[in-house]
Amino acid sequence: MFERIKSAYVEPHNTIKVEPQKVIVSIIFGLVFAVLNYFAFSLAPYDLDFQWSIHMARDFVAGVDPYDIDASNQIVPYPLPVILVGLPLLPFSPAVASGIFVGFAVFLIVLGLFMKDEFWRYPLLFSAPFIGATMIRAQWGPILIAAWMFPIIAPYFVLVKPQNALPVALAKWHWKGVIISAVILAITLIIDPTWPIRWLSKSVDFEYFIPVFVLPLGPLILVSIRYWKQAEGRLLFLMSLMPTRAVYDLTLLWVIPKNRYQVWALTLLSWVYPIVSFQGAFAVRPGWTIPFLFLPALACLIWENDKDILPNWVLHRLNKTPAE
């Protein structure tokens, strides 16, 4: 029984060789996004989201209580383990630190796509959620895609962004990552045993929606439990149950499509509402994310696993490989 569970839920650890030129391409992608994020941040600075890692790391070094703030639905501090992201970036300006964070995430994503022979997923880099998470603000969504590619880091991000990283960590279980994260959690509790309680007390006004409860279409996402044996099915089902703040939290949906046509379709759909209301698209707007993002991702799972329900001409198109 254990072997069945392990084969279904534990990410296999295969040694994969990557050609040097593909590493170079990954670095170039990372540098491009880092520079673009730097200029975007310089034009419109902000102190939320990823910047919390910098603020909390600076408070930690200075011996200041990072939770001694007036929280609100917008000002919500992060769990204390986030300082591990912020500490290495303290020597840099906020704009440079933001660019480094985004660039490193993009580098890992592109490298992971090469390692999995899935570079056909590259349109995800141009999706509305990804642009929002890398250009408008430095968000955690891209680094969570990287965690999907390299599951050993996923449990750590559960300590940083639990509502978004937990589906990744549970869909691709990694024992070494869990052990490392448990050690990190234990160290932070030794430093400050009260931080989880104080963090939760500052998070009560966090503004969010839970996709499966968005009527009338949200409950349809529960169909994804039919595909629980697949990591992508587990991911979609668990994402539907997690608190979601805005569209930039949904970049993980782009790991669900199974061919380039589906990736392009999801990417194009992601821009339907932003074209109508760009500012509104990146606020908490659950009404459009369900029909344009969650349900198309669910359709990818259905097409891949239950093709008999589709017309023959659709089957012929979907059966084409990414290279065709």
- Given a cut of 50, whether residue 125 has pLDDT beyond it is yes
Q: What sign does the dihedral 258-260-243-285 (CA atoms) show? A: negative
105: pLDDT confidence band, cut at 50, 70 and 90? very high
Residue with token string 């902000």: 46
Report the C-alpha gap between 275 and 52 in whole angstroms.
Answer: 30
Q: Which residue has the higher pLDDT, 160 or 18?
A: 160
DSSP-derived secondary structure for 164-212:
HHHHHHHHSB-HHHHHHHHHHHHHHHHH-TTHHHHHHHTSTT---B-GG
Report the C-alpha gap between 103 and 95 in whole angstroms.
Answer: 12
Q: Which region holds residue 80: left if phi is over 0, alpha if psi is between -120 and 50, else beta?
A: alpha
Report the C-alpha gap between 162 and 2 in whole angstroms.
Answer: 27
Q: Can you give the pTM of this predicted structure?
A: 0.89
Residue with token string 């608190």: 243
Coil, strand or helix: which one is 197? helix
Question: How confident is the model at residue 189, as a pLDDT?
Answer: 97
Report the C-alpha gap between 157 and 144 in whole angstroms.
Answer: 8
Average pLDDT, the chain: 88
Question: How confident is the model at residue 320, as a pLDDT?
Answer: 59
pLDDT in tens, 199-238: 999 888 788 889 999 999 999 999 999 999 999 999 999 9
Q: What's at 228, amino acid-wise?
A: W
Coil, strand or helix: which one is 11? coil
Question: How confident is the model at residue 8, as a pLDDT?
Answer: 45
**Which of the residue ranges 43-47, 181-185, 200-204 has the most confident prediction, judged by mean pLDDT?**
181-185
Q: Which residue has the higher pLDDT, 7 or 129?
A: 129
Residue with token string 């093709």: 307
Contacts of 61 (CB under 8 A, 6+ apart): 87, 90
Report the C-alpha gap between 173 and 109 in whole angstroms.
Answer: 19
73: pLDDT confidence band, cut at 50, 70 and 90? confident
- Given a cut of 60, whether residue 324 has pLDDT beyond it is no
Domain boundaries, the chain: 12-318
Judged by average pLDDT, the poorest of 133-137, 157-161, 221-225 is: 133-137
